C-alpha cells in the first residue's frame, strides 16, 4: 500500500491515506454557526482522503474558545449541512470532531454559570475571552455521577445532529487535555465513584460515551482520538506503566464496538505503546506526529509504506496547501503556513492560499 492508494474508513472508501488533522481555526460566528467560509475551507481540501473537522462543541457548557463552531442546536446543524454538501460535491469524506472542552474554558466563553471536569482541579494559567482579555482558568465543577449521564447524552445528540446534517461520521476527542482526556489521567481525575481510581475506572466514562454514540449512529461512523503521554493542559501522564494500563483498558473496551478508526497523537507511532494499542484496537489506525512539529511528505509516505499506520493525519501543510495531495504526488513545492493568520478571523490564511492550478492559470 502507498500513501496515495485508496482505503476504507468504517464503511467509507476514501481516495488516499491522508487525513486532515482536526485543528482549531475559530471562524464560526458568535453563535457557533459555521458559515460559507467554513464550507469553502473544507471543500477546498476535499482531495484529502479523510477530512476531520476542528473540535466542535456538543453543548454550550462544553465550548472552549471564542469563534469555535458548535453542533448544539438546529441553526448550527444547518451550517454544518452546508459544509457537508460542499465537501461531498467536491468528492470528499468528512467526519466531525466532537470536543467537550471540560475545564479548558471559562464562563465568559461558554455563557454558562460553570465549567465542568471530572474533579474540581483547575488548570494553571490563563485563557483568552472574545474581547481579547486574559483571565485565569477557574476551578471547575466536578460532575457528579448523575450528571455524567447528561454529558454522555450531549455527545449522543450532537452525533445524531451531525449525521442528520450529512456529516459522514464523528470523532470523539479524547486527547489534548479536554474533558474525555481529563477522565483518563490521575492528575485530573481524582474521583472515588467508579469513574476514577484504577486505570479501568478512569477509562470507563470514555468507553461509555463511545458505546452510546456508536449505538446511536453506528460504530462505522465513529472514530476516536487519543494522545497518551502527550502531557498538555495539565493532563499529566508521566508514569509509563500507569499510562499503558489506562490506554490498554480504554482500547480493549473500545475494540468490540468496531469503530471506524483509532487516531493516536504520538511523536513516534512506530513505538511500542502506539503499536500495542493498535493491535488491541484491531481496526484502522491513523497516526499523527505533527502536533509539536510538521509532518513531512517523506515521513507520511514512509509511515504508510512501512505499515506503521493505515492513514497519516496532516495539519499545517494542509492549512497552507488546499491541493496538498496533488503537491505531494507530484513532489511539488509547498506554500509555507502563515502562523499569524491560523486562528482567524477571516479568509486570510484560511481560504486564500494559492493552488498549483491557480499558478498554472496565471
Evaluate whether 192 touches 135 at the Cβ level (below 8 Å): no
d(CA 286, CA 269): 9
**Owner of C-alpha cell 465513529:** 222
The length of the chain, given as a count of residues: 362
Three-state SS for 55?
A: strand
Evaluate whether 89 touches 39 at the Cβ level (below 8 Å): no
d(CA 249, CA 263): 16
d(CA 234, CA 182): 9
β-bridge partners, 50: 19
Query: Beta strands 141-142 and 116-117: pairing type?
Result: parallel
Neighbours of 126 (CB within 10 A): 12
β-bridge partners, 264: 226, 287
d(CA 351, CA 331): 22
Catalytic residues: 178
Amino acid at each position: 500500500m502507498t500513501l496515495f492508494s485508496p482505503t476504507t474508513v468504517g464503511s467509507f472508501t476514501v481516495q488516499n491515506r491522508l487525513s486532515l488533522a482536526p485543528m482549531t481555526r475559530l471562524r464560526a460566528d458568535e453563535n457557533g454557526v459555521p458559515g460559507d467560509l467554513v464550507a469553502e475551507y473544507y471543500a477546498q481540501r476535499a482531495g484529502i482522503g479523510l477530512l476531520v473537522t476542528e473540535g466542535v462543541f456538543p453543548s454550550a457548557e462544553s465550548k472552549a474558545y471564542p469563534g469555535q463552531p458548535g453542533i448544539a442546536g438546529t441553526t448550527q446543524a444547518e451550517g454544518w449541512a452546508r459544509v457537508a454538501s460542499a465537501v461531498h460535491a467536491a468528492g470528499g469524506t468528512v467526519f466531525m470532531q466532537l470536543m467537550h472542552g471540560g475545564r479548558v474554558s471559562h464562563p465568559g466563553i461558554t455563557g454558562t454559570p460553570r465549567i465542568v471536569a471530572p474533579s474540581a482541579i483547575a488548570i494553571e494559567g490563563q485563557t483568552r475571552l472574545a474581547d481579547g482579555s486574559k483571565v485565569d482558568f477557574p476551578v471547575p465543577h466536578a460532575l457528579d455521577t448523575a450528571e455524567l449521564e447528561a454529558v454522555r447524552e450531549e455527545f449522543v445528540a450532537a452525533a445524531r445532529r451531525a449525521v442528520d446534517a450529512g456529516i459522514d461520521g464523528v470523532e470523539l476527542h479524547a486527547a489534548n487535555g479536554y474533558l474525555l482526556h481529563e477522565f483518563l489521567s490521575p492528575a485530573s481525575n481524582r474521583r472515588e465513584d467508579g469513574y476514577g481510581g484504577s486505570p479501568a475506572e478512569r477509562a470507563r466514562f470514555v468507553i461509555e460515551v463511545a458505546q452510546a454514540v456508536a449505538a446511536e449512529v453506528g460504530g462505522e461512523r465513529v472514530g476516536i482520538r487519543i494522545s497518551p503521554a502527550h502531557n498538555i493542559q495539565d493532563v499529566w501522564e508521566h508514569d509509563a506503566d500507569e499510562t499503558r494500563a489506562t490506554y490498554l483498558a480504554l482500547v480493549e473496551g473500545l475494540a468490540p464496538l468496531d469503530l471506524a478508526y483509532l487516531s493516536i497523537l504520538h511523536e513516534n507511532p512506530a513505538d511500542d505503546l502506539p503499536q500495542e494499542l493498535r493491535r488491541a484496537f484491531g481496526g484502522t489506525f491513523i497516526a499523527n506526529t505533527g502536533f509539536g512539529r510538521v509532518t513531512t511528505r517523506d515521513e507520511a509516505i514512509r509511515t504508510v509504506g512501512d505499515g506503521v499506520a493505515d492513514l497519516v493525519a496532516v495539519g499545517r501543510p494542509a492549512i497552507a496547501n488546499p491541493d496538498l495531495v496533488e503537491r505531494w504526488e507530484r513532489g511539488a513545492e509547498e506554500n509555507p503556513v502563515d502562523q499569524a493568520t491560523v486562528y482567524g478571523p477571516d479568509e486570510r490564511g484560511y481560504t486564500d492560499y494559492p493552488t498549483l492550478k491557480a499558478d498554472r492559470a496565471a
